[in-house]
Amino acid sequence: MFFLSLIEHTLRLPPHLLNLPLDQAIKGELENLFLDKVIANLGLCVSVYDIRNIDGGFIFPGDGASTFTVNFRLIMFCPFVGEVLSGEVEESDAKGLRLSLGFFKDITLPAHLLPNPSKFGEDGKWTWDFNDIPVEQEKDAKPFAPIVITASIDFDGLGPISWWV
């Protein structure tokens, strides 16, 4: 879900920030540029983790700002397909649910992906109807199983353990 990404960026540092310690001024500018932004193929930037290297400090003709080449690491949020997340319900409507992880509130759960059978109630909440558990069974009936699991071994690395010894 979270990972560090090493980035190299050419950063223009405005003159009004030069009175601050260099690393503090650069970190502030990096946060303004990257925090809460989505970077293609990386995900959502959550935080500037550290600054690894600062080179340069060149002032180009006609520009009063210093330009630095900065190597730094960002903490990125990018859940992978199939990852299990735990969130809270932010909104509920007939189209489905909107969930929040606290720092990220744009998780949608469409109605067609909710467990079956489910329904949207007049109170604005989703409910799931569970099958009734039988109270009485016939004498020769197969024991009731409240949960039935269907398994698969048709992928690499799956199957009887004796196959892999």
Q: State pLDDT tens for residues 21-64.
A: 999 999 999 999 999 899 888 989 999 999 999 998 888 888 88
pLDDT of residue 142: 75
Residue 12 lies in domain = 2-77
Here the CATH number for the domain that contains residue 39 is 3.30.1490.120
Q: 120 and 57, same structural domain?
A: no
pLDDT tens column, 77-116: 988 887 888 888 888 999 988 898 888 888 888 888 888 8
Q: 43 and 105, same structural domain?
A: no
pTM of the model: 0.67
Residue 41: inside a domain, yes or no? yes
CB atoms within 10 A of CB 143: 5
Q: 59 and 34, same structural domain?
A: yes
Residue 119: inside a domain, yes or no? yes
Distances (CA, A) of 45 to 9, 24, 96: 15, 19, 27
Q: 49 and 112, same structural domain?
A: no
Residue 70: inside a domain, yes or no? yes
Give the list of residues 6+ apart from residue 92 with CB closer than 8 angstroms, or none: 98, 120, 124, 125, 126
Q: 111 phi and psi, to 5 degrees?
A: -55, -35
Residue 38: inside a domain, yes or no? yes
Q: 43 and 68, same structural domain?
A: yes
Q: What is the tally of structural domains in the chain?
A: 2
